[in-house]
Amino acid sequence: MGNFLAGKVVAVTGAGRGIGRAVALACAAEGAEVVVNDYGVSVDGAEPHSEIAETVVKEITAAGGEAVAVADDISTMDGGQRVVDTALSRYGRLDGAVCVAGILRERMLFNMSEEEWDPVVATHLKGTFTVFRAASAVMRRQRGGTLIGFTSGNHQGSVSQANYAAAKGGIISLVRSAALGLHKYGVTANAVAPVARTRMSAGVPMELAEIGEPEDVAPLVVYLLSERARQEGITGQVYTVAGPKIAVWAQPRELRAAYGEGPWTPERLADFLPGTVGQDPMPMLARLTEMAEAAARQDRPNA
Ligand SMILES: NC(=O)c1ccc[n+]([C@@H]2O[C@H](COP(=O)([O-])OP(=O)(O)OC[C@H]3O[C@@H](n4cnc5c(N)ncnc54)[C@H](O)[C@@H]3O)[C@@H](O)[C@H]2O)c1
């Protein structure tokens, strides 16, 4: 066992399988006491039934670590609060909250139903809010802590996952808001956009040139939770990790500005805009053909 997180208490949502499980195991192996949350649902968020959070707790304790299970639904305020309250009642504090839980309901936008939109946004975006909300109140009192949200490269846009992409974009803005709002209390907030072989990525057409394992993602999360990252002042960042690759995403900012004379009219914009501020080409748009061909070939990462 390492000691990168010795003395810290970390809560991980969606920690029953996939990336969340790898993160929970790695945190415990580095000395953290871990709250393992998972609602135990199918990939589309239905049929909660399993005891997978408890199974991961058993794995951690068998390896000599310390953990407690919470099998709640983090898309509810009560569920998010219970994750944080369990850290406090069992371990007396909370140093890290890592929101990994997620589901997928794929559909083209023009066919997407409310039942496909709402649960996806509720699990990812609200499910990050419920835990961040409860955790940040504790961390503000403690004058320290680390919040980590899970986003995706798909925040750039996705052909058949408008619900998922919208939620993942929202998580980045939520993380940046937390970084700003909690800075003076010594709380950092960052986002991770992983690419890893799990049941979730297995069902998605192969749009991914680079992919790794859940165990490749966990060290980045451990590092971001550690004093080493906190001393560097790392906050408000989005990192991608895909196997051996690690990358930082740009901060959103205005790319080009131009000023007109007098009030804009549609006609004046039609004459002025294309040749001045113009467009910022969309990288995903350039990959549409490649992605359609991969989907037609039924390319899937092997989970
Ligand atoms: N695997 C990838 O390549 C990839 C790429 C980009 C982003 N992500 C993101 O990483 C995260 C983990 O994905 P994964 O691939 O490990 O998926 P996964 O399906 O293997 O695991 C997700 C876990 O979240 C749990 N969960 C779902 N809804 C929940 C709820 N309401 N409350 C508590 N737990 C809930 C599930 O039971 C499951 O165990 C997700 O947020 C996903 O969007 C993954």
The yes-or-no verdict on residue 221 having pLDDT over 80 is yes
Tell me the pTM.
0.96
The amino acid occupying position 20 is G
Going from the N-terminus, what domains does the chain have, and what CATH number goes with each? 9-248 (3.40.50.720), 254-303 (no CATH)
Ligand 1 neighbours, Cβ below 6 Å, are 13-14, 16-20, 37-41, 43, 45, 73-75, 100-103, 123, 127, 150, 152, 194-196, 198-201
Q: What percent of the chain has pLDDT over 70?
A: 96
Centre of ligand 1 to C-alpha 103, Å, is 6
For the segment 159-175, the average pLDDT, to the nearest whole number, is 98
pLDDT at residue 303 in the model: 44
pLDDT at residue 20 in the model: 98
Dist. CA 86–CA 94, nearest whole Å: 10
What average pLDDT does the structure give for the chain? Answer: 95
- Asked whether 163 and 117 are in contact (CB, 8 A), the reply is yes
- Asked whether 127 and 75 are in contact (CB, 8 A), the reply is yes
164 is catalytic: yes
- Nearest to residue 192, comparing CAs of 156, 130, 240? 240
Work out which ligand 1 atom sits closest to the CA atom of 52.
39
pLDDT at residue 207 in the model: 56
The yes-or-no verdict on residue 31 having pLDDT over 50 is yes
The yes-or-no verdict on residue 206 having pLDDT over 70 is no
Q: 247-275 pLDDT, tens per residue?
A: 999 999 999 999 999 899 999 999 999 99
- Nearest to residue 73, comparing CAs of 25, 123, 8, 141? 123
pLDDT at residue 208 in the model: 59
Q: 85-142 pLDDT, tens per residue?
A: 999 999 999 999 999 999 999 999 999 999 999 999 999 999 999 999 999 999 999 9
Pocket test for ligand 1, best of 12, 52, 198 (most atoms within 8 A of CB): 198
The yes-or-no verdict on residue 301 having pLDDT over 80 is no
For the segment 212-233, the average pLDDT, to the nearest whole number, is 97
pLDDT at residue 162 in the model: 97
Work out which ligand 1 atom sits closest to the CA atom of 73.
32
